[in-house]
Structure 1
Amino acid sequence: MTANSASSTPRELGFTFPAEWAPHRATWLTFPHNDASWQGDKLAKMRPQYLAFIKAISQGEKVGVIANDEALKQFIIGELDKTGVDLNKIEFIVKPTNDAWCRDHGPSFVVNPKTGEKMIVDWGHNAWGGKYPPYDDDNRTPRAVAEYLNLPVVNPGIIMEGGSVEFNGAGTILTSESCLLNLNRNPHLKQAQIEQHLFDYYGVEQILWVEGGIEGDDTDGHIDDTTRFVNEDTVVACVESNPADDNYKMLQTNLGMLKNMRLVSGKQLNIIELPMPKAVVIDGFRTPGSYANFLICNAGVIVPVFNNPHDQVAIDILEKAFPGRKIIPLLATEIIWGQGSFHCLSQQEPLV
C-alpha cells in the first residue's frame, strides 16, 4: 500500500492505536528552529535539554527528526554528534515546519494486530484553535512522514491533537471536555460526532471524559498534562495539595470524575495520585509544569523535572507505577517555557 487515502475507516479495516508502552520502532520529533514558542535567547537555552531528550530516546529506538531545511539538518547532526548521540539511530525528513509540538501536528500511527500493517491518520491541525498562525507547514507533516515510510494515510477531516487523547491499548480513550469540545476546534460537530470520529479513526470502543486542564496550558486542557494510563486499567492523575493554588479545584473535579469511570470490561479505574510540582513560574509566567507529561519509550519513561521540591516524590511514585521500566528524569526547566514538555514534543511509531 502507498500513501493514498483509504476508502474505509481504520476501525473497519481492523486498525487500532496501540498503548504508548507497546514497543516502538521510532519516536518522531519536529526540531525547534524559530522563536514561536521560545522567544529571544530561550531557544538556545532549551536546546541542550532537547538534545538530552533525543539522546535518551535513542538508547532504545530510532529517532525520526523533521528538519525545516537542509541547513538545519546539518546543524542538528553536528549538535547530536557533540552530545554523543549515535547518528545511526537518527532518521531525517527535511520539510518546512512551523513549531515543535509533534504530538499535536505529527502522524498518528495505527496498526492492524492481525496483519502487522501500519497506517497513518492525518488529523487536521489548527494550532490549538488558531492561536499561533501560521501552521500550514506543520499540518502537512503526517503526509510527509507517510510518504517517507511508504505507509497508507487516511484523513478524517477534523481537527484533533495527539496531546488531547490518552490510550490504554484496550479500547479506551481518555480526553477532556475543555479541549475536544472547544468551539475553536470543530464548532460544526457535537460531542457524539467527535466521539464517532475517535471510534472510527483510532479503532477504540469507549471515550471517557474529564473536565479540564491546568494553568499555563495554552491547549485548552490537554489530557497529557493531567491524566495518563500506566497500564490497561491504571492511571496516574495529577493532584494539587494546596487548596489556594489555581489548579486545585480543577484537578479535584477531574479526580472525582475518574473515580466514577468504568472501563470496557466494567472494571473501575485504579488511580495513582501524582503531585503537581510546586508552581513552575519563569519571568512571572506560570508554566504548565507537570510530571504527567512523560514519554514512555523503549529505553524507559522520560519524566520532566524542574529542580523542584516535588521532583523526587513524583519520580518515586512513577517508579512504583512502572515496575520493570527505567525512570529517566530529565530537566525541562527551559523547555517548559514553550508551554509543553517531552510528551508534547514527541509522537511514537509502533513496532509491528
Structure 2
Amino acid sequence: MQSAVATPRDRGYRMPAEFAPHARTWMMWPCRAEVWPDLEATRRAYAAVAHAIREFEPLSMAVRPQDRAGAEALLGRDIDLIDIPFDDSWARDAGPNFVVDAKGNKAAALFRFNAWGGKYHPFDQDAAFGARVAELCGARAFASGLIAEGGGVSVDGDGTILTTETCFPNANRNPGWSRDAITEELKAMLGGDKVIWLPGNADETETDGHVDGIAVFVAPGVVLIEGADDPNDPWRAIKQANIDALAGQTDAKGRPIRMVMIPEAEESCTIGDRFCRSYVNSYVCNGGVVMPRYGTASDGWVREIFEDLFPDRRISLIDIADIAVGGGGVHCITQQEPA
C-alpha cells in the first residue's frame, strides 16, 4: 500500500492543470492490431491529431523501431519521433503524470499500470513507459504502489482532484486499497489537497469509467461535464448521478464548482461497442483546443461551448472515428508535459 518514502507533495510538487502552459505533448504511435479494425486508418487519424496539436506546441511521438518508417511518412519532420518500446497507444494512461514545484523543477508521478484491470496482454512495456519518458525528460521519478491511469484523474492545478468510484477502487486494480487510502495516495502523488469522487460509469467497461470521458476541469472552479438531457440515452441515469454528485461541491480553495453541461455525439455515429462519443475527451493545449469531430450536428454545438470556455484559444476539430472505435478519444491518446 502507501509508501513511507517522500512523495511529490512532501517535496513541494503539484500537478498543473491541463490548461496551464505546456512544454510539449507526448503520444504513442498505434501498434496493437487487436484494438483497431483498420490499423493504418487509425495511424492516419493519430497523425491528424498530432499535426493539429503541433500547430500549438511541440509534440513527441513514441514509436517502436519497426514502425518508424511508416510513422515518418505520415508525420513528417516537424514531429519528434522517439524510439521507446511499448505495447499499446494510450499515452494518457501509460505516460507519466508530470508535477512541478515552485521553482519550476519537473518530476513524474508514476502509478502502476495493469492495462485497465488486465484487459490486454502483454502490458509490461506500457508499465515501464512512464519511467522511460521521465528519464528522457530528466524528470525526477516518484513511484506509487497504486494502480492508476492518467485518464482517471482531472486536476485544477490548485489542489483539487476529480476521479470516479468505478475506476481505481475497482477490484481489477486495487483490491487491497480502501477509498480513503486511494484518496490519500492521489493527493500525495499529484500534490492535491482535496479529492472529489464521482460515481463514474460501471457500464463503460473499457476503462471502468475514466473521469476524462465524464467530467474535467476547464478552469479553476469550472468543470465540463456530460449532460443528462436525452431521455433515450441508456446512460442517462448514470450521467445524472455524476451531475448530482458534483452539485454543491467546492474545490480545494473553497470555490463553488460551476458545471458546464456538454452533450455526447449522437449515437448515429457509433461504430462498434467500444466507440467513444465523448466531447469531454478533448485536449487543451497552448493556445488551442483539439476536439473530436463526429460528423453530426452536435459538433457545431460543442464547438460553440468550447469557444465560450476558451475565448483566447483556437478550436480545432479533427475526425476521430478511427480512434474512437478503439475505445478512446483525443484526450486518451495525449499526455501533456508542463512548461
> Offset at 1:340?
0.1
Q: Which residue of 1 aligns with 2:145?
A: 157
Contact 1:93 1:145 in 2 (8 A): no
Q: How many angstroms apart in 1 are the aligned matches of 2:5 and 2:174?
A: 23
Q: CA 1:143–1:6 in structure 2 vs 1: closer, same or farther (change >3 Å)? A: farther
Q: Secondary structure at the match of 2:163?
A: strand
Q: 1:14 to 1:277 in 2, by over 3 A?
A: same
Distance 1:217 1:277 in 2: 19
Please provide the CA RMSD for this pair. Answer: 1.8
Contact preservation (8 Å) 1:215, 1:288: no
What letter is aligned with 2:46? Y
Structure-1 residue corresponding to 2:18: 20
Q: Cα 1:43–1:21, aligned 2, differ >3 Å: closer, same or farther?
A: same
Residues 107 and 120 in structure 1, CA contact (< 8 A), matched pair in contact too: yes
The match for 1:110 among 99, 124, 129 is: 99
Deviates more, 1:196-205 or 1:281-290: 281-290
Q: Could you tell me whether the CA contact under 8 Å between 1:119 and 1:151 is conserved in 2?
A: yes
2:72 aligns with one of 77, 92, 100:
77
Q: State the alpha-carbon separation in 1 of the partners of residues 47 and 199 from structure 2.
A: 34
- CA separation in 1, counterparts of 2:138 and 2:162? 30
- Name the counterpart of 1:224: 212
Residue in structure 1 matched with residue 241 of structure 2 by the alignment = 253
**Of 25, 39, 45, which aligns to 1:43?**
39
Q: Could you tell me whether the CA contact under 8 Å between 1:105 and 1:139 is conserved in 2?
A: yes
Residue pair 2:227, 2:263 contacting (<8 A) in 1 also:
yes
Question: Matched residues in 2 for 1:310 and 1:277: separation?
Answer: 6
**What's the offset of the Cα at 1:122?**
1.6
In the alignment, does 2:52 pair up with 1:64? no
CA distance in 2, matches of 1:62, 1:225: 25
Q: CA deviation at 1:163?
A: 0.3
Following TM superposition, where does structure 1 have runs of at least 4 consecutive aligned residues deviating by more than 4 angstroms?
214-217, 280-284
- Say if 1:299 and 1:74 are closer, same or farther in 2 by CA, change over 3 A: farther
Matched, 1:326 2:314: yes
Q: 1:215, 1:246 within 8 Å by CA — same for their partners in 2?
A: no
Which structure 1 segments of 5+ residues have no match? Answer: 82-86
Give the whole-Å Cα distance in 1 for the aligned partners of 2:316 and 2:203. Answer: 25
Larger mean Cα displacement after TM superposition, 90-99 or 181-190 = 90-99
The amino acid across from 2:73 in the alignment is G
* Counterpart code for 1:54: A
SS at match of 2:229: coil
Residue 261 of structure 1: how far off its partner (Å):
1.1
The within-5 A match list for 1:169-180 is 169-180=157-168
Report the Cα offset of residue 150 of structure 1. Answer: 2.1
- Alpha-carbon distance in 1 for matches of 2:314, 2:119: 36
Residues 1-352 of structure 1: pairs in structure 2 closer than 5 A? 7-39=5-37, 42-69=38-65, 71-81=66-76, 87=77, 89-112=78-101, 114-213=102-201, 216=204, 218-279=206-267, 282-285=270-273, 287-351=275-339
SS at match of 2:207: coil
Contact 2:270–2:277 (Cα < 8 Å) also in 1: no
- Tell me how far apart the structure 2 counterparts of residues 230 and 24 of structure 1 sit (CA, whole Å): 15
Q: 1:189 to 1:6 in 2, by over 3 A?
A: closer
Structure 2 residue matching 1:193: 3-state secondary structure: helix
Per the TM alignment, residue 268 of structure 1 is displaced from its structure 2 partner at its CA by 1.5
The one-letter amino acid paired with 1:74 is: A
Q: Partners in 2 of 1:199 and 1:66 — Cα distance?
A: 29
2:172 match: secondary structure:
coil
CA deviation string 1:16-55 (max 9, x = no partner):
000001111110111102313103xx21122222111111
SS in 2 for 1:92: strand
In the TM superposition, residue 217 of structure 1 has moved relative to its aligned partner by 5.1
CA contact (8 A) 2:99 2:109 kept: yes
SS at match of 2:331: coil
Counterpart residue identity of residue 91, structure 1:
D
Shift of 1:286: 5.5
Q: Could you tell me how far apart the structure 2 residues matched to 1:284 and 1:198 are?
A: 33
Q: Distance in 2 between matches of 1:68 and 1:213?
A: 33
Structure 1 length as normaliser, TM-score?
A: 0.91
| Residue in structure 2 matched with residue 84 of structure 1 by the alignment | none
> Secondary structure of the equivalent of 1:285?
coil
Query: Aligned equivalents of 2:264 and 2:75: distance in 1?
Result: 32
CA–CA distance in 1 between the matches of 2:244 and 2:217? 17
How much has 1:266 moved relative to structure 2?
2.3
Greater shift, 273-282 or 328-337, is seen at 273-282
Q: Identify unmatched segments of 5+ residues in structure 2.
A: none
